[in-house]
Amino acid sequence: METRFFPQRKMIFTKHPAYDNVKTAMFITGEEPSMSSVCLIEIAPGSETPIHTHEENADSVFVVQGKGETYINGSWQPIEPGDYLFIPAKGEHGTRNTGTDPLQLFIHKSPQL
């Protein structure tokens, strides 16, 4: 794989395949040799990604903008820009936008080691 650059001005957000009012800008897909995926997701105000798990992937999540709550370790916790979450494989998690602006999350998914 070669080094890649993704200028913000050229980022394209598309509808998330599973969640309403959630958009995704994919950078690296899990189908590529890096064996991980990297994306930026944007959750509209009042919307959410429901509580779910990933059987084989861990998520590293950095809050870029907006306000919300994330479900981790059995309870909802407030999140804001600059917060970081690590969710291991099989860890229950979900995120909801409680603010008035889009909630952006930078996500790196990696395979279970």
Q: What is the pLDDT of residue 12?
A: 87
Q: Domain limits of the chain?
A: 10-85+107-111
Nearest to 41, CA basis, from 64, 67, 57: 64
pLDDT averages per 10-residue partition of the chain, 113 residues: 82 87 84 75 95 91 97 96 95 97 94 56
Dist CA 88 CA 91 (whole Å): 5
Determine whether 62 is exposed, middle or buried from the number of CB atoms within 10 Å of its CB (0-12, 13-18, 19+).
middle
pTM of the model: 0.86
Dist CA 108 CA 41 (whole Å): 11
Cα–Cα distances (Å) from 3 to 6, 24, 25, in that order, read 10, 21, 18
CB 55 within 8 A of CB 109: no
Backbone angles phi and psi of 8, in degrees to 5: -55, -40
Q: Within 10 Å of residue 104's Cβ, how many Cβ atoms?
A: 19
Q: What is the pLDDT of residue 34?
A: 56
Dist CA 113 CA 70 (whole Å): 25
Q: What is the pLDDT of residue 23?
A: 92
CB 73 within 8 A of CB 94: no
